[in-house]
Structure 1
Amino acid sequence: MTTYYFSTLHGNDSSAGTHHDTPWSSLSQITGVSLQPGDAILLERGSDFTGQFLHLSGVAGTSDTPVIISEYGDPDLPLPRIDARGDGIWFENYGAPIGGAPHKYCGNVSTTLLLKDCSYIEISLLDIANSCEPTDGRPYNAIEAMDRTGIALIAQDGGTMRHVHIDRVHVHDVEGNVYNKHMANGGIYAIAHFPSDPDTVLTNIARFDDIRITHCTVQRTRRWGIAVGYTAYLNYIDHGERDAATSQWTNVFDYGDGRMDHETLQTYGATNVRIEENVVEDAGGDAITVMYCDTPYIRANVSRRAARDICDTVYTATQNDKVAAAIWPWRCKDALFEYNEAYDTLNADCGNGDGQAWDADFGDGTVYRYNYSSGNSGGTVMFCNEKAVNSQFYHNVAYHDHVGAIDIPRNPDAYVHHNVFILADDCEPLRTHRADGVARIEENIFVNDARMPYDYLWHPDGSDITWSRNRFQGFISKPDEEGNYERR
């Protein structure tokens, strides 16, 4: 087991690099090193590796002897900082269309810390940035602006990428592309591609197992804060269509009735994903999202001021994907969100089509419990469209979210119970203008915190709402909870 030391305070690339008294000064020195289980890469506190980057490929520790990337030195000095400043460019290619508008799926990306096909790696106590050179030459919100990542985890040619733990890392000022949701573009992003050899797509499946992101602070990143699990294998998970003549994927999908099964996600998606006790502030888009994960656990995280760029004055080059919420899943099975907090998600009043704290989106069995939200511009929770099924929202508290506490656009079965909603002046119990789904709303407390009581349309046109055993304060009317009502 060998430890490799790096320092911009005391380092010299002519030194041995294997003792804290003889560190290297350039991170590129690790390029020629064959890292073995139990090896460590340590950066001295107080060092500033601006203009440098650290890219590792094919590195593997073991369950007992992971490869360590961390710090050493005087604990009173700042964490060692790496800021690629737009360097560290590599070519990302999912190998197939990946859904959506469609989303961009290949192109150059700048990443500060890149792990590709690496397993049993533990990262801690680093300061990671990827800021923009003042002479970059294009507006920050140009559609062709560089995609950038602070930390990118890429599974592609090594099968399952296992046991990557990121703990107590500060990722900040990652000035990526405003628009690209699913390139490696944001603070911390884990993505699976198809293998380079198309003949091995089903024999060498690229996926993740045991990804943990804990106790990190992520600030001022675009587009994402933390995202785990997006994958080219969505073409299999979501029953993608192929062209009969060319066998190429067509970017057309069949989500069925929305239900998902554990076996499919355990084969093609991410497993054992835990995102806990992180703080994400001022993300350009969404704060924390898990995608194509089986039973992910998202606990005790804090989002503040997500969706900073999703507004009419910044998001101007396209209208595609002009939506962002705080903490949510996409196409997951039995995702559990608990003890999280979401504050002041932005811009529902300025072009952001979402803006909620929480969003059960196109998944099966999403549960939100014991969470707290406040000041979110688009409301508290959305159950997003027909393919979000078996979703529950219970034992949560919402204080002065805006627009609508409960948002059920075309949802088939939202179940909202045992929550407390303290409504701001401009907040409806239901987001009325798109309350065209089905919801069972039971044993909640709704407090109208406006100065004057107001009447409310409890059963908007197109909705199918069952109200039962709720408590209401500050309303002129309340729903007939026996079901004897007239739709208006």
Structure 2
Amino acid sequence: MKACIICILLMMQLAYACKKSGMDNARLELVSGKTYYVDAQNGDDTKSGTSEALAWKTLSKVNATTFQPGDSLLLKRGSVWAAQLYPKGNGTATNPITIGAYGTGNRPLIALGGTVGGAVYLFNQSNWTIQHLEVTNQASSRGTTFRSGILVQNEGGGIVSNIRILDNYVHNVSGTFRYGAFDPHAFGGISLVTTGTAGADKFDNILIQENRVEAAGRTGIVVWDNVWSGAGQASENVKIRQNTVKDIDSDGILTFGCNGALVEYNVANTCGNYAELGQFNGSCAIWCTRGADCVVQYNEAYNTQALMDNADGQAFDLDYDAVRGVVQYNYSHDNAGGFVLFINGGTTTNNCIVRYNISQNDKRSLITFAGGVAPNSQIYNNTFYIKAGLNTNIIDHSWDLDMTPAYAFKNNIVYNLGSGVYKIPGTNGAFDYNHYYGNHPVSEPAELHKLTTDPLLVNPGGGGTGIATVDGYQLRAGSPALNTGVAMPGNGGKDYWGNVILAAGAPNRGAFNGAGITGLP
């Protein structure tokens, strides 16, 4: 009896502690919390799987198991399975189910030969963590099959939530460019996709972090809400951060149908590197579409390709129905299509902001409006560098629909040693307080407050690989760009380097808002 009373008192103390720490809505759960081990060399499916000595052997055994909240499924390092990993069950928000690795050596490898769907697969399942795996799904040809490395599918599952995909190496995934039952953009290295038509299907609280995705198609990393219908139906709380995507068939990182997605500290290298005759490949390294309030920041995008006439090839894109999207503090260089693309196309793309970015030696056109002008676009305090020998247009437009909306281009530094021009979209662009240096084509905007003297950048053109290699785009002491810009409302509060930007007063022009750098040769 005394032991029972002690147990009750302990439970009451735990409930009080949860309530005191803001967890009063949490449900106290009795969780099994078992750990299961799988060893492809020495395991035995007739055993319990609950210790390294009693490990299972096959993924068939795993796939036939319904895991419980708090369980862990650990795959032995050095093991290889040529089979799909499709465990069953759901965790809870406080007790997710975890897939991971144990032992020493190479990551456990799930290696499929072009299987439909995902090599690692969840279907209508919430509260899972997938980490520390190596995954491939390579076919002899791309064909018409939708394939992914890691695939989380929601079809009639309502809200699929609390999915964390962390520190995986996904590569050699053969994606298709053929449209069929689904859009091929929605599949690739790591894919979270709703494939049904139920209006309630969406994702919530998604974290995709520190993964490496290489040689994958069609998309490197994608969260795709197929039944997005605006503010009333969108996936939410999506974070894609600190990932590297490289040698991707088409798009590097993409969100579709997400409100408030945060895409940050990623590196996208050589996206859009596959061309298939007759198939559209409008690739951008990192982009958001069909969603509001998405933020793309602190990313590096380079070597994006534009292999066909219909290819885009930009580093960043604010696409159809992008509302209040923000592209800031990014480093873009050597992209075949340019720096950023705005696509309206008769939709609701509007009020998007591109600020405090650095573009070095991007090609074709730095800023492109396609499908008309996206209303109230604001492009300010960016630094653009174009080396000699390039014919990059600074601003351009195509597929002209409604060209009447207003937009702004202010406080930018354009260091133009190339031969490109300005193809100004519409007649309602507000161009002012920009700093133009180098070559001055006749199409360069005439502005009341423009500057054309040397902006005295520390080392223009000196950026390398990595977002921390661009200190050469800071301003020297005595620069005419210091404190001569115009205040922009809602300016984000800091520049590329984290220097404070006050709400009032004249900021610097360009992406640097600190004091001029002294002591330089």
TM-score category of the 2 structures, normalised to the smaller one: 0.7 to 0.9
- What do you get for the CA RMSD once the two structures are aligned? 2.2
TM-score, structure 2 normalization = 0.73
- CA offsets, 1:188-231, max 9 Å, x none? 11111337xxxxx45xx221110110000000111111110331
Cα separation, partners in 2 of 1:290 and 1:335, compared to 1, 3 Å: same
Gaps of 5+ in 1: 88-108, 135-139, 196-200, 238-259
Query: What does residue 358 of structure 2 align with?
Result: 397
Query: What does residue 494 of structure 2 align with?
Result: none
Task: Work out the CA distance in 1 between the residues paired with 2:384 and 2:336.
Answer: 15
User: For 2:447, what is the secondary structure of its paired residue?
Assistant: coil
Cα separation, partners in 2 of 1:10 and 1:469, compared to 1, 3 Å: same
Tell me: higher relative CO, structure 1 or 2? Use CA pairs within 8 A at least 6 residues apart: 1
Q: How far did 1:40 drift? A: 1.1
Cα separation, partners in 2 of 1:297 and 1:433, compared to 1, 3 Å: closer
**Correspondence 1:421 to 2:395:** no
Query: What does residue 471 of structure 2 align with?
Result: none
Task: Give, as a single letter, the amino acid of the residue that structure 2 aligns with 1:152.
Answer: L
Q: Paired residue for 1:229, among 224, 227, 250?
A: 224
Q: Paired residue for 1:2, among 12, 34, 38?
A: 34
Task: Work out the CA distance in 1 between the residues paired with 2:108 and 2:357.
Answer: 39
Alignment of 1:74-473 (within 5 A): 74=104, 77-87=105-115, 109-132=116-139, 134=140, 140-142=141-143, 144=144, 146-180=145-179, 182-183=183-184, 185-194=187-196, 201=198, 205-231=200-226, 233-234=227-228, 237=229, 261=231, 264=232, 268-309=233-274, 311=275, 315-316=276-277, 318-319=278-279, 321-347=280-306, 350-362=308-320, 363-385=322-344, 386-387=346-347, 388-409=349-370, 410-411=372-373, 412-424=375-387, 425-431=390-396, 437=403, 438-450=406-418, 454=419, 456-457=421-422, 459=424, 462=426, 464-473=428-437
Equivalent pairs, count: 403
Task: Work out the CA distance in 2 between the residues paired with 1:300 and 1:467.
Answer: 30
Q: Paired residue for 2:68, among 30, 36, 40?
A: 36
- CA offsets, 1:100-134, max 9 Å, x none? xxxxxxxxx332011111111111100011012x5
Task: Work out the CA distance in 2 between the residues paired with 1:174 and 1:209.
Answer: 26
User: For 1:21, what is the secondary structure of its paired residue?
Assistant: helix
Task: Give, as a single letter, the amino acid of the residue that structure 1 aligns with 2:385.
Answer: I
| 8 Å contact from structure 2 (residues 256, 291) kept in 1 | yes
User: For 1:357, what is the secondary structure of its paired residue?
Assistant: strand
| Larger-gyration structure (1/2) | 2
Q: How far did 1:458 drift? A: 5.6
Query: What does residue 97 of structure 2 align with?
Result: 67
- CA offsets, 1:392-427, max 9 Å, x none? 100000000001111012123321000001024121
- CA offsets, 1:249-284, max 9 Å, x none? xxxxxxxxxxx54xx1xxx22111000000000111
Q: How far did 1:171 drift? A: 0.6
Cα separation, partners in 2 of 1:353 and 1:347, compared to 1, 3 Å: closer
Cα separation, partners in 2 of 1:7 and 1:189, compared to 1, 3 Å: same
| 8 Å contact from structure 2 (residues 269, 301) kept in 1 | yes
| 8 Å contact from structure 1 (residues 39, 67) kept in 2 | yes
Q: How far did 1:63 drift? A: 2.0
- CA offsets, 1:337-364, max 9 Å, x none? 110110010025x334311001111210
Q: Paired residue for 2:85, among 47, 54, 57?
A: 54
Gaps of 5+ in 2: 1-32, 451-521
Task: Give, as a single letter, the amino acid of the residue that structure 2 aligns with 1:355.
Answer: G
Task: Give, as a single letter, the amino acid of the residue that structure 1 aligns with 2:188.
Answer: G
